[in-house]
Every structure is written in C-alpha cells, then in structure tokens.
Structure 1
Amino acid sequence: MAMTADRVIYSQSCGRTNDSKLITYTKGTNGTQVDSMVAPPMSEGLAIINNSLYVSFESGAKPYLSGGKYPLYHLYYSPLGSFINRVTGVVNTSGINLNVRSGPGTSYSIVDQVADGTKVTIRCQIKGETVTGTYGTSNLWDQIGEGKYVSDTYVYTGSDGQVAPTCAP
C-alpha cells in the first residue's frame, strides 16, 4: 500500500500468470474506487519515491517477468502523476486503425494497433517526429503503454497542447 495526500493505492496480486492490479481509492470515501492500472504478475509492495510509484515483486516472479512480456526483474515504476491523475483521450482516425509505435515517430516499429473510437489512457507525452493527423500537425506523442506511442494528432483530449506529464527519457 502507498498513500498520497488524497489517495490510497493498493497492489493486488492475481497469481503467477495473471497481471496484478494497482487500485486507487480516494481517502475518506468509505472505499470508493477511483481507478485501476495493470501491473506485471506477482506484485508485492508499493512505494512512492521522488514522485514515482514503484512496485516490487515476489522473488519467485523472475521467470514470469524477465522471460515474458515484461522486460524487468524485481522493480517496476510509473511517474506518479500519470497514475494518480491519469489523462484519457479518444482515437479519431475516421474509421481506420491507428498504428502504435515503439517510440515517438513513424520510423519506430509498429507494435500494435488501436481501433478508431477507442478510449486510451495517456501515461505521459514526449516530443518526437512531427506528424499531420485528424487534429492538425504536431510533434507531440502519447505513451499509452510501456513502449507504446501514438501521435497526439489522432487522439482527442480536448486540448491542442500537452495534457499529461512529460515522459522520462
């Protein structure tokens, strides 16, 4: 468990092969859940250090983390602001799927696709290649998952500028 001024964050492990959940509650609301976030399997503890949320894992988690879809060992972190004050947007591509890239530019490999109309959570934003899309021309890219970036020009956030914290280099 970790706490901020107004939130309580719990880690819920769901076994060796299932993703864990990080669940946020607002303090003083008799257990009203505010949000949740997926974390790698076998989460064990939480800490907030230098405005980042760190998740530690059981010692037996190594085979599931380092050899699986999560390239890490015992520690995982997310900028606290991107977890506590999560920003969402809606993909608008006029009916086609949006390519998700491994970095902030079209020269990065395609790692996934997001369907038009999908609500995405923007973890952080970073400047990269300038792209023209549904909402104009910009060099702002949205990180929607670990190693997953989409051009902000295809995501409706209600703003023309940056709406989430800057991604750590």
Structure 2
Amino acid sequence: MFAVLIFITLGLFLGFSLGMASKVLSVDGDPLVDEIEGMMPGGQCGQCGEAGCRQAAEAMVKGKLPITACPPGGVGLSEAIANALGVDVNTDDIALPLYAAIDESQCSGCQRCFKACPFDAIVGGAKQMHTVLSDICTGCKLCEPVCPQQCITFTESQPMWIWPKPMAA
C-alpha cells in the first residue's frame, strides 16, 4: 500500500512539473505561419521542395519560396496565401492540377500505391483492382514511383463519372 502511494505522489508531482514546464518554456510561433500552414493540404508530399507544409509555410513567409510552390493547392491556395501575405500573385504561371488515374486492367492489387498516398485518395483491397478518388487526389505523384506495373498516369483533367439523364420516351 505504501508503494502505491509513493507512485501516485510521484506521478502527480511529475505531471504537475511537466505541465508547468510546458507553459513556462513554451515558444510562441509566428501566427502568420500557422495560418498559412492551416490553408495547405497537409499531405507532406514535398512537391514544393520543402520537407513538409510547415517548412513551406515558413519559407513563404520569409520570401524564400514562391507562393505558387504548392501544386496540390492549385490556384485557390495561391490566391489565399497571397491575400494573407498581402502580395500579388500571377495565376497564369500556376500549372493546372494533376489527377492520378489507374489503368485497372494492369493493376495487380499490390497496395503499394494505396500505402504511398498521404491523402487516402486510392481505394482498393489486397489483390483487387484499385482506383483513384479524383475529388480527393491532389496530384502529388507519390503513388507513381512505387507502382511495379507502371499503371498510374497523371492528367490535367479530372475524370467525370456523371452520365446524362435518360430521355423520357
């Protein structure tokens, strides 16, 4: 019983100490960096040349990275970042977003693309055909190099699965 009381006391003391240390030793971040990071897709795809979205946001605020450097974000993200930073952006230089497409006849269902996608845009089961949810795909191209069948391609047009309504007879 005495040992239990010692561990409870020690746990309370250490918990209180860590809580106070986190408040006293906290480092305030730049709220502008936090705002821009919140706008970004958050997939840590690395297409901008930075290790992640936080590093990209810091570089954009410092002016070391152009605000058009996030391909998955597209024109909308670039305009939102330009508004937050108070700068102008030329949207003509921004490439159209890319969308992945899987050639289902070549897909072996190895799940490598499924595991590589940070946005969960690829669905399918083991040893079953996989497909891409084009509304979620950001075109980060992380799935392409891991596909052993090379059945993933990228296009600038988003596939549409909407058929016209049948005509009344």
> Where is the strand percentage greater, Structure 1 or Structure 2?
1
TM-score by length of 1: 0.24
Task: Kindly indicate whether structure 1 or structure 2 has the higher relative contact order, using CA contacts under 8 Å at least 6 residues apart.
Answer: 2
Larger Rg: 2
What's the TM-score once normalised by structure 2's chain length? 0.24
